Amino acid sequence: MRKIAYIIIFLAVFIAANAQNIYDVQYPKYEERAVWLATIGGIDWPRTKATDAASTERQKQELRAILDRLQQANINVVILQTRIRGSVIYPSDIETWDETITGRAGRAPSYDPLAFAIDECHRRGMELHTWLVSIPLGTSQRQRSYGTMSVTRRHPTLTKTVGGEVFMIPGQPGTADYIASIAREIVERYDVDGINLDYIRYPESSYRFSDDNLYKTSTGMTKADWKRENITRIVRRVHDEVKAVKPWVKLSSSPVGKYRSLTRYRSGGWDCFDGVYQDPQAWLHDNIQDILFPMMYFLGDHYYPFLYNWEENRYGHPIVPGLGIYFLDPKEGHWQLNDVRAEMHAARNSGIGGIAFYRSEYLIRNFKGIYDATCEEFFPYPALTSPMTWSGHTNAPAQPTKLKYKDGIITWDFSQPLTDGRWPIVHFNIYGSNIYPVDITRPENLLAQRIPATQYQIAGRALTKSFYAVTAVDRFGNESKPAQEASTITVRPSRDAIIAAVRQHFAGTSAKSAPSKKAKKEKASKVKTEKVKVEKVKVEKVKQEKVKAEKQEKKKTEVRTIDFSKYLD
């Protein structure tokens, strides 16, 4: 019966992915929309090595261009590879510079790439999560190039080399402390939004890695349980170190895409629980992880049953399936756009928490139209990341007050501090609509997020809106009640009045008879007497709507003439 249900769901999703969107799609207000941005070898970024002022600026501009494209696609989480293979892309006291930034391992650039990336993401309303490759350390040759800063030199008891490949040893208790120290260093120094543990697992069997010599039967655990506990110890240690510094920083990992074999769908030996000794569902249950980004780079029966298994065992946390869009590249695989679209529809319809893409290059280069589909079909509006309801921090910040519009800028007051002295603790979301009051529950009304100050320059899609609202949001995602802009509309017209006005509009006549010449003269005389200076602040045609703003010099208030037809939107 369960297999039949999966087939029905798959067919429904496939049909939806191939059908025209003839119905009003309901987009979620909260959804993790993530992209992995790889730095190893500069495969996503950087292509230019920062060796002088000019090349450093080119390197920065490359990242800006990538983030601009991601912002246009309404991506809200960037997972930036920060620890590569026992090397990093920021000035660290623990590990050395990776060669990807300057072209030479250990050589520092003239700027801090991680700080720059965080600022640029936040400027675009996106979160930045640092991606830390946990267990693999690359080749022994790579480690030798790091000199005295190599972990194999500084902590030889924590590493093991097998066939020329070096790994951290999960069975050594000190490995958990070492990886956690890197995570803590980052959150103490940077305004990151998340720490993502990649390759937080035992190496696959092809590497013939083993730390079985450390296993003792006296633990009371089977060898498999002991290995899972070794990985869980690292995850827990990272949690304890990070949350002690900044409890709002989101902890996540990228586990293997299948948790374990299901009754009717086998994992083929490549799964979390039995294959590489991860137990991410337990990590969610115990709240030592906030989010999962499982690497679900599969099709058909290897994707859909395991997607719903993840959804059924998420314990109130978002799980964000990572889609292998690199298979859209003919050099990598034979996936078609509809393969990915169907998986995206299934993920969204399941309510699992979001969608992630591996990796940035394949999205922004629009392989087989994936970027266009993302922008137009799936993410036409911004979305907020999920509130951390499981964290125990659920009190919303104060409501903003005194929202005003003037000369293309909205401003508001806020009674609480915006920072704790060093880090932002509150930011603001902007909503807009042509219906008053603005409904902040409608995703299409969200215009901008993560605004760090108490003002906002109206631009882009916001120019088409007549009314605005602002909410305050803390770092846990708790959102206040909205401050609404003052409106001259006190009574909404009835539906019959709206329909009549629209019919009159399309008939080319007025709902009332045209004013006489005498009335026009009286009106002109009245305007002249009152010395009203009319300032045209916005003119945008959106379907049948027309917005006018009038500013009276004496009263210093704004008057808006509203076309009733907009209420039919």
In this structure, what CATH number is given to the domain that contains residue 448? 2.60.40.10
Could you tell me if residue 77 is inside a domain? Answer: yes
Instruction: Say whether both 438 and 516 belong to one domain.
Output: no
Q: How many domains does the chain have?
A: 3
CA torsion sign, 110 to 114 to 115 to 121?
positive
Q: How confident is the model at residue 21, as a pLDDT?
A: 43
- Is there a domain that residue 101 lies in? yes
**What's the confidence (pLDDT) of residue 492?**
43
φ, ψ of residue 477 to 5 degrees: the values are: 90, 5
In a domain, 32, yes or no: yes
Do 187 and 273 lie in one domain? The reply is yes
Give me the pLDDT at residue 485, please: 85
Please indicate, yes or no, whether residues 373 and 246 belong to a single structural domain of this protein.
yes
Contact indicator for 195, 249 with CB cutoff of 8 Å: yes
* 52's tokens: 């002088």
User: 2: which DSSP letter?
Assistant: H
Q: Answer yes or no: do 383 and 410 share one domain.
A: no
Residue 142 included in any domain: no
Residues 375 and 434 in one domain: no
Give me 97's structure tokens: 């510079």
Contact 440, 431 (CB under 8 A): yes
Which residues does 225 contact at the CB level (< 8 Å), separation at least 6?
none
The domain boundary, picked from 390, 405, 425, lies at 390
CA 129 to chain centre: 9
Q: Among all chains, which residue has been given the structure tokens 């266009």? A: 372
Q: Does some domain include residue 260? A: yes
Q: Residue 527 in contact with residue 505, Cβ under 8 Å? A: no
In this structure, the chain runs to a length of 569
Give residue 25's pLDDT.
64
| One domain for residues 445 and 546 | no
Task: Specify the DSSP element, H or E, that contains 551.
Answer: strand 548-551
Q: Which two tokens stand for residue 4?
A: 């039949």
- Does one domain contain both 434 and 413? yes
Considering the domain architecture, whether residues 294 and 405 belong to the same structural domain is answered as no
DSSP 337: H
Q: How far apart are CA 316 and CA 82, in angstroms?
A: 28
Q: Smallest Cα–Cα separation from 294: which of 271, 322, 266?
A: 322
| C-alpha to C-alpha distance for 16 and 373, rounded to whole angstroms | 14
Residue 401 and residue 507 share a domain? no
Q: Point out the domain boundary residue: 334, 360, 390.
A: 390
What is the domain extent for residue 181? 2-136+173-390
Does residue 154 lie in a domain region?
A: no
Per-residue burial over 76-89, b = 16 or more CB atoms within 10 Å of its CB, e = otherwise:
bbbbbbbbbbbbbb
373, 390, 407 - which closes a domain = 390
Predicted local confidence at residue 517, as pLDDT: 52
The reported pLDDT for the residue numbered 242 is 98
520 conformational bin, left if phi > 0, alpha if psi -120 to 50, beta if neither:
alpha
The predicted pLDDT at position 497 comes to 60
Q: Please indicate, yes or no, whether residues 201 and 69 belong to a single structural domain of this protein.
A: yes
The angle at the Cα of 443, spanning 441 to 447, to the nearest 5 degrees, equals: 110
The answer to the question of residue 346 being in a domain is: yes
| Confidence (pLDDT) at 94 | 98
Strand-strand pairing, 558-561 and 467-474: unpaired
* C-alpha closest to that of 402 among 415, 390, 389: 415
91 found inside a domain: yes
Query: Do 117 and 251 fall within a single domain?
Result: yes
The residue ranges of the chain whose pLDDT is under 50 are: 1-24, 489-493, 508-514, 527, 529-569
Helix/strand/coil for 440? coil
What pLDDT is stored for residue 503 in this prediction? 65
- Residue 57 CB contacts under 8 Å (≥ 6 apart), including other chains: none
Strand spans (E) along 164-210 = 165-168, 194-198
373 and 413 both lie in a single domain: no
Biggest alpha carbon–alpha carbon distance for the chain: 103
